[in-house]
Amino acid sequence: MTPNETLAYRPINRTKTDKTRVTVMLASNASGNHKLKPLVIGRSLKPQVFYSIQTSQLLVTYKANKKAWMKHDIFNGWVSELDREFCLQGQHVILIIDNTLSHKFVISSDKTENDNDYDDDYDDDYKDNFNNDFSDNESRESSEDDETNNCK
């Protein structure tokens, strides 16, 4: 994005606002002690900044689509991978997510508008601490694909 102010003695004319965007999805358990690998959605399948890097080596999961939006195929793939990972560990999980178009298969509860106070506080705390926690994070171990526990 271009800066709002400049040190030039006259204004800069005819500049377009950069519309390059990325989407970042963060997820953790309710206590925050188990944070999942962030999902980053960009516009390019192989961005130039990743020229010499395999995307599997990143500390984030990188996906791409035309507008860098969360689409249902990306979300469903992420949920399937998450389900597979927890199944291999023998754990059960419930996801609490918002109501956006990419979450089509979600079974909704009868939540009222007044029930979101805890969610808002949790979201604010999680977003505030993300940069600090993520920058200090060591590379994560991947689960072994050889283990089979009736998981697909």
Position 51 scores a pLDDT of 84
Position 31 scores a pLDDT of 81
C-alpha to C-alpha distance for 83 and 88, rounded to whole angstroms = 9
Map tokens 């206590």 to a residue. 31
C-alpha to C-alpha distance for 92 and 5, rounded to whole angstroms = 51
- For the chain, which residues make up each domain, given as ranges? 23-136
Out of 3-7, 46-50, 113-117, give the one with best mean pLDDT. 46-50
Strand 61-64 versus strand 39-42 pairing type: parallel
Asked whether the beta carbons of 64 and 45 are under 8 A apart, the reply is: yes
pLDDT in tens, 93-110: 888 777 776 666 554 444
**Which residues, in sequence order, are CB contacts of 130 under 8 Å at separation 6+?**
26, 38
